[in-house]
Amino acid sequence: MPFASWLSKAATILICKSQDHPPARSNPLAPPPARSNPPPGPHPHAAWIEDQLLAFIVSRILQAIPVVLVVGLIAYAMFAFVGDPVTIMLGTDYTEAQRVALVKQLGLDQPFFVQYAKFMWAALHGEFGISYRLARPVTDLLAERMPATLELAATASVFALLVGVPMGVYTGIHRTAASRLFMVFSLVGVSLPTFLIGILLILVFSVWLQVLPSFGRGDVVRFSHWSTGFLTVGGLKALVLPAVTLGLFQMTLIMRLVRSEMLEALRSDYVKFARARGLGPRAINFGHALRNTLVPVVTIAGLQIGGIVAFSIVTETVFQWPGMGLLFVQSVQVADVPVMAAYLVMISVLFVGINLVVDLLYYAVDPRLRVAR
């Protein structure tokens, strides 16, 4: 298994890296020694860790399979209960023989679970049928719109992390007017619905100031399967408002999380001890406190990627962003089941994948998890 071995090697590197904590010293009151790099060569427990990690990954993947199967079942059940594809495809003028032939051709005369298995098999090969609304293969529709959604989600996540973490650290350390202002701001950010943030931003920056576009992706550069807005000024400008709208909720969430974790860490014994050792505030705040807030932050930030993709439905509708979320909303409005089913299955695979990666990162960041297993 070349892939698995590569993955576990990558994780081992991550693990070894996260272990260059200040080494334990016999005399805690002695001045801290110069920070030494870990000895070169493989980690002493590398082989053991690799086995553990492999078992962990395999068990997580085994847990993920039923989730995807159940979601696929729900997606398929939509076909069974919502609308009748035969009448949709035949129109109004048809004979009974034509109907029976089509039913047979579509395999609708077979038992439910046989049909379900066929659906999952086709889905595994990326085939989700043809959109009722647009009369085009669903896979093509999704592939066309995926770059827009992914670029938007990625920009929003980077924005949320780059602004949220420093703000959280600042409000955690300082008790100033600015920090109280940030907290009020974050409370408003949590209470403001996503679509309202988008509307307000459009009103201020597009209608009143007229500096940023309010809909579409601007100019995009097309490669064979990918269209990007990162390479043109118009594309980047068009990205600003949607990305801020989408990332704002995540940003306030990360900020509040980092703040509360920082407060907790700064009260803990090891920080008091670090202070007693005479470490400077910089080393305490960032080397000790922030470092230990990273586990929950990684988890939440990772899990929030799923939230970002889901909320991109709303953001894309506000900004008429030509992504998968807009396609999904338009499909829900007219009950375009193939698109809904495909989106659902794809999102579930994405979410399960994200959860898996988050678990692995968790494993890499928190050494206690490795010992416990």
Partner 1 sequence: MSAAAPRAPGALARWWDSDLAYSFRRSPVAVAAALMLLVILFGAALAPWVAPHNPLDLASLNLMDSRIPPVWDAEGQSSFPLGTDDQGRDILSGILYGVRISLVIGVGAVLFAVVVGIAAGLLAGYAGGAVDAVLMRIADIQLTFPAILIALLVDGVVTAALPQEMHERLKVQVLIFSIGISFWPQFARTVRGSTLVERGREYVMAARVIGLSSGRIMLTHILPNVLGPVFVIGTLTLGLAIVTEATLSFLGVGLPPSSPSVGTLIRIGNDFLFSGEWWMTIFPGLALVLLVLSINLLGDWLRDALNPKLR
Beta carbon nearer to partner 1, 12 or 315: 315
CB within 8 Å of 356: residues ≥ 6 apart: 57, 60, 61, 64
- The span from the CA of 200 to the CA of 194, in Å, is 10
333 forms part of the interface with partner 1 (CB under 8 A) = yes
The type of residue at 102 is L
Q: Does residue 307 belong to the site contacting partner 1 (CB under 8 A)?
A: yes
- Quote the strand ranges of the chain, DSSP E: 221-222, 227-228
Q: Which of 131, 149, 252, 355 binds partner 1 (CB under 8 A)?
A: 355
**Single-letter amino acid, residue 43:** H
Alpha-carbon gap, residue 8 to 87, rounded angstroms: 51
Of 268, 272, 255, 265, which is closest to residue 291 (Cα–Cα)? 265
Provide the minimum distance between the beta carbon of 228 and partner 1 in the complex, in angstroms, as a whole number.
26
Asked if residue 13 binds partner 1 (CB under 8 A), the reply is: no
Q: For partner 1, which is the closer residue by CB, 18 or 330?
A: 330
Report which of 259, 239, 246 is spatially closest to residue 304, judged by C-alpha positions: 246
Q: How far apart are CA 258 and CA 297, in angstroms?
A: 7
- Examine residue 78 and tell whether it contacts partner 1 (CB under 8 A): yes
Site for partner 1 in 174-193 (CB under 8 A): 187-188, 190-193
Instruction: Classify the C-alpha dihedral 183-168-269-296 as positive or negative.
Output: positive
- The reply on whether position 311 binds partner 1 by CB under 8 A is yes
337 touching partner 1, by CB under 8 A: yes
The 267-306 contact track toward partner 1, x by CB under 8 A, reads ---------------------------------------x
Q: Which residues bind partner 1 (CB under 8 A)?
A: 66-67, 70-71, 78, 81-83, 187-188, 190-196, 199-200, 202-203, 206-207, 214, 306-307, 310-311, 313-314, 317-318, 328-329, 332-333, 335, 337, 340, 344, 347-348, 351-352, 355
